[in-house]
Amino acid sequence: MKSLAIFSPWFSVLSLTLESSEVIGLRIAKLAGGGIDAEHEAHLILSEKVGAVFELGARLATGATLIDVVDRFREQVAANARRLS
């Protein structure tokens, strides 16, 4: 089983990519609908991206590995997918 451990980081990155694309589609649909919900979503997107940059820097500065950061982003993407579904 140890030989499969080498694929774990790549699996997390691939999963983040696929999960993110789902959330991007859901967000585009919401933005295309217009109105106050779209405006709220646009503000949320921007604040999440700015927050992610600061969180990334803080996590890496305190010794987190890149895979820790990817896993944290996967948690955030999953929360967005639940909220938008």
pLDDT in tens, 10-66: 899 999 999 999 999 999 999 999 999 999 999 999 999 999 999 999 999 999 998
Element (H, E) at 24: helix 8-33
Tokens representing residue 27 in the block: 């967000």
| More confident call, 1 vs 3 | 3
- pTM reported for the whole predicted model: 0.84
* Helices 8-33, 66-84: crossing angle, 10 deg rounding: 30
The packing angle between helices 35-61 and 8-33, to 10°, is 150
pLDDT for residue 10: 87
CA distance 21 to 27: 10
